[in-house]
Chain A
Amino acid sequence: MLTGMPRPRADLDTQPFWDGVAERRFLVPTCGLCETPRWPPGPMCPSCQSQETEWRETSGTGTVYSWVVVTHPVAEALVEQVPYAVGLIELPEGIRVVGNVLGVDPAAVRAGLPVRLVFEDAGDGALLPNWTAEEGAS
C-alpha cells in the first residue's frame, strides 16, 4: 500500500461507499430504477437520470483493463515507493475502478490479469480497497 497519498474525503454522494469500506465491503452504486451500475459514485444515473441509488456489494474479483508503472518519483512521498503499478480494474458489473496491482512484479502486469479485492490500512488507520494478483496467475 502506498503511503503519503491524499486521503479521500467523503461527501453526501459518496458517503455510503466509504461507510462500506470501513466494514470491508466494496459497494457499487447502482441505479434503483434501471439497475445500471455507475462509477465513480455520483448523484444521478447517467443512463436514465434517476436519483434512486442502491449500493450493491461486488464479488471481489476483477481483471486488469489498463495500467501504468510509475517509475519516476514526481512527489517526495514516492521516492522510496516507485516503481508501482496503478491502473483500472474491471469488475464483473462492468464498471472500472482505480487500484494498485499488488502481489506481482509491476513489470509483469498485463491486460486481463485476474485480481481479487483486499482491504489495506492506508497508514492512518483508515482502510482502502485494493487489488492483488490471483495466486498462480500469469
Chain B
Amino acid sequence: MTDGALRDRAAVVGIGETAYSKASGRTELALACEAIARAAQDAGLSVADIDGLVRYDMDPIDEVALTSHAGLKNLRWMSQTGYGGTGGNAVVVHAAAAIAAGVADVVVCYRSLNERSGARYGQAATWMREEVGGFEAFQMPWGLLTPAMLFGQFARRHMVEYGTTSRQFGEVAVALRRHASRNPRAMMQKPITIDDHQASRMIADPLRLFDCCIESDGACAIIVASAERARSLRNPPAWIMGASQGSGTRAQGIVFRDDLARTEAELTARDVYRSAGVGPDDVDAVMVYDHFTPFVIMALEAYGFCPIGEGGPFVEGGRIHFDGELPVNTHGGNHSEAYIHGLPHVIEAVRQLRGTSTSQVDGCEIVLSCSAVAQLSAAVILRKD
C-alpha cells in the first residue's frame, strides 16, 4: 500500500435510504432500487450517470438485477466485498480504489435486506442445517450456532483479561440509544439507562439483549465520485482521505483465533491512518460497526483512542455521547437506528460533515468510519470540503 494513494481522489457525494422497519412489505429488489435512486437524486445525478458498482457479496440483489430494474445501464466496472460487517466501509475502499485507478467515475454502493421479516441473523434456523461441513462441523454440533454465541466468546475474553464489565457494555448501549432517540429514522427511539441494560435478558451470557444490534428491513446506498466530478455537484463533497481493509488471521472460524480479546482491526487501523495521513487525535467523530456493544469498546482500542484493554473505562461517563469528548455512532448505529449491515454508518459520517446530523457534533471536520468485527475489518476517513 502506498501512503496517500487514495487521498482526496474521490468523495461521497450522495446518500439514500429507505424507511427502516420490522416488516417492509416490499421485495429487497424494490428497496435496493429506491435507495439507489434516492442516493443519485441526493447527489444531483441521474442513475444513468453511475458507471461503477460495489456490492456486499451477501446482498440478495446483484448487479445484473439492477441493470434490469434500477436503470443502471452504463456500468463499466463492478466489484463485491466479502462477508458482512466489514462491508459498510469495504465498499468505499473498493469505490475509492476504482476511481483512483481511473476505471470508474461515479460508483454506487448499496445494501438491501429484509433481515427482520425474512431470515433473521439472530435465529439459529438461519444458520442451522441437518449436516454441516468445513469449519462449522467443529462448532455447531456443540450448540455454537448464532453470532451472539460466537462473538460472545470475544466479549467474555475481554472481561477475563482486562476486567471489562457488563455495565461498561451498558454505557455503549445507553449512548447509542440516546443518539437514536434524537433520530426520526431510528427504529428504537426510547432512551434506556444502565439499569435497563442490566435488567435486559441474557441471550448468550455475557451478552444481554441490549448488547445486541437490532434486526431490520431496509436498504441504503451511497454514491462515490471522482474529485473532478464531485466538485461540480450540488452537495459539499465528503472527501475520502484514506481507506483500508484488513483480514488478520482466521476470518473463517473466528473463535479459533490466537487472541479473542483483540481484533484484526489493529492492522486496518495502522493502514487507514497511513493512507489518510492523520491519526486518532485528528478525528472528531467515530462511526463504528456495532453488531454487539463490546465491539465498540474493542474498536476504540484497535483504532488507537485508548490503550488495548482500557476501552471499558474509556466509554464511561458519557465520553462517547454526541456531546462528549469522542462522539460515536451519532445515528444510533446497528444497535438502535437499523441494522443495514454498517452502511448507514458511512451515511452518518457524511451527514456529520455536511452538518445535517440529528446529533450534530460541533466543528466536525474529520470522521473515521470503521469496524473491528473480529472477522474482516475495513475503515475509511472522510473530511469536510
Interface residues of A (CB under 8 A from B): 2, 5-11, 14, 39-41, 46, 65-72, 74-76, 78, 81, 83-84, 86-88, 95-100, 111, 122, 128, 130
Contact = CB atoms under 8 A, between A and B. Distances in A.
Contact of B138 (A5, A8, A75, A78): A8
B146 A74 contact: yes
Nearest to A13: B134
B149 interface: yes
Contact of A96 (B133, B142, B149, B256): B256
A10 B149 contact: no
B120 to A, nearest CB: 9
B142 A6 contact: no
Contact of B149 (A5, A40, A86): A86
A6 B130 contact: yes
A68 B141 contact: no
Interface in B171-224: 201-207
A81 B249 CA distance: 33
Contact of B142 (A9, A75, A98): A98
A69 B204 contact: yes
B204 A9 contact: no
Given A66-B160, A68-B153, A75-B124, 9 more contacts: A6-B128, A6-B141, A8-B137, A8-B138, A14-B137, A66-B255, A67-B153, A71-B201, A86-B149
11 contacts: A6-B129, A6-B130, A8-B131, A8-B138, A66-B153, A66-B154, A68-B153, A69-B202, A75-B123, A128-B142, A130-B142
Contacts of B131: 6-9
Nearest to B139: A98
Contacts of B256: 39-40, 88, 95-96
Interface string B29-65: 0000000000000000000000000000000000000
Contacts of B363: none
Contact of A2 (B125, B143, B149, B255): B143
B372 to A, nearest CB: 17
Given A5-B141, A66-B153, A68-B153, A40 B132 contact: no
Given A9-B133, A88-B153, A128 B202 contact: no
A84 B122 CA distance: 17
Interface of B: 122-125, 128-146, 148-149, 152-154, 156-157, 160, 201-207, 249, 253, 255-256, 260
Q: Ordered nearest first, which 4 A-B pairs have the shortest CB separation?
A: A75-B124, A8-B137, A68-B152, A69-B205
A10 B138 CA distance: 10
A8 B202 contact: no
B144 A122 contact: no
B260 A66 contact: yes
A8 B132 contact: yes
B269 to A, nearest CB: 23
A111 B130 CA distance: 32
A14 B138 CA distance: 10
B137 A86 contact: no
Contacts of A122: 141
Contact of A78 (B124, B129, B136, B202): B124
Given A68-B156, A68-B205, A2 B123 contact: no
Given A9-B132, A9-B133, A71-B204, A65 B157 contact: yes
A47 to B, nearest CB: 11
B142 A86 contact: yes
A78 B127 CA distance: 14
B205 A8 contact: no
A88 B142 CA distance: 11
A5 B139 CA distance: 10
B202 to A, nearest CB: 4
Contacts of A97: 138
Contacts of B206: 68
A11 B133 contact: yes
B122 A74 contact: yes
A96 B123 CA distance: 26
Contacts of A67: 153, 156
Given A5-B143, A74-B122, A66 B157 contact: yes
Contacts of B157: 65-66
Contacts of B141: 5-8, 122, 128
Contacts of A11: 133-134
B259 to A, nearest CB: 10
A120 to B, nearest CB: 10
Nearest to B136: A6
B257 to A, nearest CB: 9
Contacts of A111: 160
A14 to B, nearest CB: 7
